[in-house]
Amino acid sequence: MDGQRHTIIGYGTLTAVWVALLLLTALTVGITRLELGGYRVLGALVVASLKGGLVIAFFMQMKSEGGLLRLFLLIAVVTLAIFIGFTFFDVLYR
Amino acid sequence: MEHGGHRDGFAAKLGMWLFLFTEILLFGGLFLLYAVYLRRYPAEFAMGGRQLDWMLGTANSVILLTSSLCAAMGVTALQRDESRRAVGLLCATILCAAGFLAIKYFEWSAKIGHGVYPGSERLKSGPAGESIFFSLYYMTTGIHGLHVIIGAGLLAWISVRVGFGKIPADNLILLENGTLYWHLVDLVWIFIFPLYYLVL
Amino acid sequence: MDKAATAQNSFWNDTGRSGLTAWIFSTDHKRIGLLYLYSTTGFFLAGVILGLILRIELMAPGRTIMDPRTYNALFTLHGVTMIFLFILPGFPGAFGNLVMPIQIGASDVAFPRLNLLSWWLYMAGALIALSSLFTGGGPPDTGWTFYVPFSTRTGTNVTLAVFGVFVIGFSAILTGMNFITTIHRLRAKGMTWGRLPLFTWSLYATAWVQILATPILAITLLLVMAERLLGTGLFDPGRGGDPLMYQHLFWIYSHPAVYIMILPAMGAISDIIPVFSRKPVFGYKMIAFSSVAIAAAGSLVWGHHMFTSGMSDRAVLVFSLLTFIVAIPSAIKVFNWVSTLYKGSISLEAPMLFALSFILLFSIGGLAGLILGAAATDVHVHDTQFVVGHFHYVMFGGTGFAFFAAMHYWLPKFFGRRYREKPAIIAWGLMFTGFNILYFSMKILGMRGMPRRYYDYLPEFADLNLAATVGSWILALGVAMMFVNLVSGLLRGEPFTGNPWGGATLEWSVATPPPTENFAEEPVVTHGPYDFTAAGRR
């Protein structure tokens, strides 16, 4: 069967990712202390997406999965984006 | 029942990911409401966010990230046939979960003690947007907390299986799927944290 | 039941357990399929009886047999039963389970125990939803849509009903997960995506909708429960909430959900029409593609249920435009079915009659959908009997008739016995006649301004309402006749062996009834699903 584990992610890599995640957490807290107005939410979301990407790629091992799961994840995320985005056709212009 | 008589690890993982998508969309509904109401009540949301303790939120973020690290290392350990270490790492994960829930408990009870909970007199007499903010906060963190409890229970059961297990390959699939679920819990929190605690 | 089984190793015989436990604890996809078949058709018949009672009340203006509160509770129950207990789980649960694993050459689904769990969750959800009738404030009276603010304020037992539906949603998610994984991982050697039967293709698209849309229903229903139990106020305008957000969330699920209902039906029709035309299906790739396209486009159009809700004009425009896009893949399917019939050697047996009437009724219903999808015309017929006529044409005339076609087409294979042809055709004739009298009257009534869900109406609507009620009796007579004929035929009828219709998909290549493991040895697929010369009639 294909798709079986071919790569083992070492402890070192995982720890490095964890450190990066902690730094990004500190960054989010920092960003939202600044006077950025509406960009504050945007900044927080960008950092959160980065963190999410790291978790998915390394902890959830998406990095070593084939294209299929990545495509599926993309479908799910795009679907959610459409659900939220299209609602704003109403909310923004009511 | 497995195809060709041997276990299809990829099928199990595919099924798990599909299930995780449903979880993403479940929380997605709540984030949708958050987005809509944030646009309508930006000032009240900032006011609500200021009432949450960002230190506790940050502490919980660190705890969950650490728990995810332990879970991921647990998989690596089992892949290297170090099942004792895997069990130890899983126990650390569960310990983190307990810490997270304890902090959450103190947060909630302090808020409820101040009369801030869905339908409370204080929220009813305050600005509408604030009531919406806290209703969403309780719904989102409540459902998330439920997932933490389920995930910790799942990992506890898996660590018992790994500790006494006889079929390492089966246990690895189980462990991988259990930790996938756990990482999702972390992933959701990564978005909850800035949106509720840091929107000042 | 066991008498029906003729073959020694048929799935009817093989089991370690006996009696009822051999069924309700079986992980065999065929047994689970039959469990779904029995439970969903049972609820369907209950829903038919409820519909008949509603029609009797509407036979004449004013009070006929019940008071308005009972009427509200009954149409809610009719809707909830038909939608959540029959039509959503019906096709994937019953025929998806029975047929799909064999069609792809697998011995079972990818997760047999989850499959059983999803039936159990379905039954548990059904029981919870039904128990709401007898507990708390009594039967819900909100309609199946559970619209706020009424659903959060009514004293009736909405909370429990909504929780039941939540559990059923979980069951649908598990089925979807299972089917996607099965279709990806368990296809037999040679069963490429281009050889996948169109019924399986449609189930694949359906499963995606189940996975991506159902969670939104789950969270919406949880929020309604929280609103009732905790007073969250998220949909309460008095407390800053927005009731329209409920409608958005509800339709984000419920519009894609109508494709959960219709897609497998289209798939079954795509399998049946070539067999009874003795001709390979026309435009295989386009039919397969259009299933996926419908699933995708169907997720973009939920706003067309809200044109008169007070949603922004821009949203009305966007959702109206997008709605027309769904018509394209639907029309692709209809044209391809008709092209398949062209110059075919058509044999008008029962499954084919139901399939042909599906095309007609679905087209009528679908075209009425365009009237509703265009914002300008929708304003006039919104929330009228026209809408009721429209969705009965697509859901009953579409999915319902396709379900009957599938019952006549596939069930003999699994029971090893067949129904009698003549009563089946008479029953079809009664149903087709009664159906059109009933629902076409509704469409005209709606055009003339009769609102839906109303207990009473103006005297000028009396004639057509009487006609509709008489139509409902003819329809019900046909339904009763069809079920009596099917049940008696499948239990005691003529033996059904081999492949009398000459189907070329894999389920026709296995023994009748299929053995527990489906295939004696792992099949190797060498031809397409509609290659009748390669398959041959046996």
Which of C430, C465, C438 lies closest to C450, judged by CA? C465
C418 membership: H or E segment, kind and range: strand C417-418
* SS3 state of residue C384: strand
Shortest Cα distance, chain B CAs vs residue C266, angstroms? 24
Structure confidence at residue C535 (pLDDT): 65
Please, are residues C177 and C267 in contact by the beta-carbon 8 Å criterion? no
Phi, psi of C494, rounded to the nearest 5 degrees: -60, 145
Q: Does C300 touch chain A (CB under 8 A)?
A: yes
Q: Does C318 touch chain A (CB under 8 A)?
A: yes
pLDDT over 60 (residue B180): yes
Please, are residues B8 and C106 in contact by the beta-carbon 8 Å criterion? no
- As a whole number of angstroms, the distance between CA C244 and CA C306 comes to 9
**Mean pLDDT across C435-460:** 96
pLDDT tens per residue, range A7-25: 789 999 999 999 999 999 9
In this prediction, residue B5 has a pLDDT band, given cuts at 50, 70 and 90, of: very low
Structure confidence at residue B168 (pLDDT): 73
**Mean pLDDT across B51-66:** 95
ipTM of the complex, rounded to two decimals: 0.94
- Tell me the CA end-to-end span of chain C in Å, nearest whole number: 26
In this prediction, residue B45 has a pLDDT band, given cuts at 50, 70 and 90, of: very high
**Mean pLDDT across C89-109:** 96
Which of C366, C360, C387, C374 lies closest to C442, judged by CA? C387
Looking from the CA of C90 toward its CB, the CA atoms found within 13 Å total 32
pLDDT over 90 (residue C450): yes
In this prediction, residue B200 has a pLDDT band, given cuts at 50, 70 and 90, of: low
**Mean pLDDT across A37-60:** 91
Structure confidence at residue A2 (pLDDT): 42
Which of B106, B121, B20 lies closest to B56, judged by CA? B106
Q: Does A91 touch chain C (CB under 8 A)?
A: yes
Which residue of chain A is at minimal alpha-carbon distance from C245?
A87
pLDDT over 80 (residue C2): no
Instruction: Please classify residue C488 by burial: count the beta carbons closer than 10 Å to its beta carbon, then call 0-12 exposed, 13-18 middle and 19+ buried.
Output: middle
Of C7-21, C169-183, C365-379, C419-433, least confident by mean pLDDT is: C7-21
Chains contacting A with at least 3 CB pairs below 8 Å? B, C
Which of C251, C266, C263, C162 lies closest to C208, judged by CA? C263
Identify from A2, A73, A90 which residue to disrupt to test chain C contact, counting C C-beta atoms within 10 A and taking the largest count.
A90
Which of C30, C162, C64 lies closest to C515, judged by CA? C30
Helices and strands of chain A, counted as H and E runs? 3, 0
Q: Does B71 touch chain A (CB under 8 A)?
A: yes
* DSSP string for C159-221: HHHHHHHHHHHHHHHHHHHHHHHHHHH-PPBT--GGGS-HHHHHHHHHHHHHHHHHHHHHHHH
Structure token digits, residue C173: 């998610």
Chain B residues bordering chain C (beta-carbon distance below 8 Å): 1, 3-4, 8, 10-11, 14-15, 18-19, 21-30, 32-33, 36-37, 40-41, 118-119, 124, 127-129, 131-132, 135-136, 138-139, 143
Across the interface, whether the CB atoms of A76 and C212 are under 8 A apart is answered yes
pLDDT over 90 (residue C243): yes
Q: Does B13 touch chain A (CB under 8 A)?
A: yes
State the pairing for strand pair C417-418/C494-495. antiparallel
CATH fold of B9-197: Four Helix Bundle (Hemerythrin (Met), subunit A) (1.20.120)
Structure confidence at residue C3 (pLDDT): 42
SS3 string, C86-116, reads: HHHHHHHHHHHHHHHHHHCCCCCCCCHHHHH
pLDDT tens per residue, range C325-335: 989 999 999 99
Across the interface, whether the CB atoms of C311 and A94 are under 8 A apart is answered yes
Across the interface, whether the CB atoms of B66 and A18 are under 8 A apart is answered yes
- As a whole number of angstroms, the distance between CA C388 and CA B120 comes to 41
Task: Supply the mean pLDDT for chain B.
Answer: 92
Shortest Cα distance, chain B CAs vs residue C41, angstroms? 28
Across the interface, whether the CB atoms of C239 and B26 are under 8 A apart is answered no
In this prediction, residue C13 has a pLDDT band, given cuts at 50, 70 and 90, of: confident
Which residue of chain C is at minimal alpha-carbon distance from B7?
C110
pLDDT over 90 (residue A36): no
pLDDT over 50 (residue C269): yes
In this prediction, residue B1 has a pLDDT band, given cuts at 50, 70 and 90, of: very low
Share of chain A residues as helix, strand and coil, in percent rounded to the nearest 5? 75, 0, 25
**Mean pLDDT across C113-124:** 97
Q: Where are the domains of chain B?
A: 9-197
Please, are residues C211 and C177 in contact by the beta-carbon 8 Å criterion? yes
* DSSP string for C269-299: HHHHHHHHHTSPPTTHHHHHHHHHHHHHHGG
Identify from C311, C316, C317, C322 which residue to disrupt to test chain A contact, counting A C-beta atoms within 10 A and taking the largest count.
C311
Structure confidence at residue C1 (pLDDT): 41
Identify from B67, B185, B187, B189 which residue to disrupt to test chain A contact, counting A C-beta atoms within 10 A and taking the largest count.
B187
Which of A22, A61, A68 lies nearest to residue B65, judging by beta carbons? A22
Phi, psi of C236, rounded to the nearest 5 degrees: -100, 110
Which residue type, as a one-letter code, is found at position C93? Answer: G
- As a whole number of angstroms, the distance between CA B123 and CA B126 comes to 5
% of chain C exceeding 70 in pLDDT: 97
pLDDT over 50 (residue C348): yes
* DSSP string for C464-476: HHHHHHHHHHHHH
Looking from the CA of C347 toward its CB, the CA atoms found within 13 Å total 12
Instruction: Please classify residue C373 by burial: count the beta carbons closer than 10 Å to its beta carbon, then call 0-12 exposed, 13-18 middle and 19+ buried.
Output: buried
- Residue C319 to residues A69, C227, C254: CA-CA distances in angstroms? 30, 28, 15
Of B180-189, B191-200, C106-115, C205-214, least confident by mean pLDDT is: B191-200
Identify from C30, C148, C177, C229 which residue to disrupt to test chain B contact, counting B C-beta atoms within 10 A and taking the largest count.
C177
Identify from B14, B22, B45, B69 which residue to disrupt to test chain A contact, counting A C-beta atoms within 10 A and taking the largest count.
B69
pLDDT tens per residue, range C474-489: 999 999 999 999 999 9
- As a whole number of angstroms, the distance between CA C85 and CA C65 comes to 26
Q: Does A3 touch chain C (CB under 8 A)?
A: no
pLDDT over 90 (residue C256): yes
Domain total of chain C: 1
pLDDT over 70 (residue C305): yes
- Residue C230 to residues B138, C47, C140, C393: CA-CA distances in angstroms? 11, 33, 19, 40
Across the interface, whether the CB atoms of A84 and B186 are under 8 A apart is answered no
C125 membership: H or E segment, kind and range: helix C112-131
Which residue type, as a one-letter code, is found at position C349? Answer: E
pLDDT over 80 (residue A4): no
- As a whole number of angstroms, the distance between CA C275 and CA C278 comes to 5
- C10: β partners: C515
Cβ-Cβ contacts under 8 Å between A and C: the total is: 44
Residues of chain C contacting B21 with CB distance shorter than 8 Å: 211-212
**Mean pLDDT across B142-152:** 97
pLDDT tens per residue, range B99-132: 999 999 999 999 999 999 998 999 989 999 999 9
Q: Does A11 touch chain B (CB under 8 A)?
A: yes
- As a whole number of angstroms, the distance between CA C243 and CA C101 comes to 43
CATH label of the domain that carries residue C96: 1.20.210.10
Please, are residues C332 and C287 in contact by the beta-carbon 8 Å criterion? yes
Which of B24, B129, B139 lies nearest to residue C226, judging by beta carbons? B139
Across the interface, whether the CB atoms of B129 and C110 are under 8 A apart is answered no
Across the interface, whether the CB atoms of C299 and A82 are under 8 A apart is answered yes
Alpha-carbon torsion C389, C390, C391, C395, what sign? Answer: positive
Q: Does A11 touch chain C (CB under 8 A)?
A: no
In this prediction, residue C533 has a pLDDT band, given cuts at 50, 70 and 90, of: confident
Query: In sequence order, which ranges of B41-167 are alpha helices (DSSP H)?
Result: 42-51, 54-79, 83-113, 121-125, 128-164
- Residue C423 to residues C276, C348, C432: CA-CA distances in angstroms? 19, 14, 14
- As a whole number of angstroms, the distance between CA B133 and CA C495 comes to 66
Q: Return the number of other C-beta atoms located less than 10 Å from residue B150's C-beta.
A: 13
Residues of chain C contacting A94 with CB distance shorter than 8 Å: 310-312, 315
- As a whole number of angstroms, the distance between CA B83 and CA C56 comes to 69
Cis amide linkage into residue C513, ω under 30° from 0: yes
Structure confidence at residue A6 (pLDDT): 57
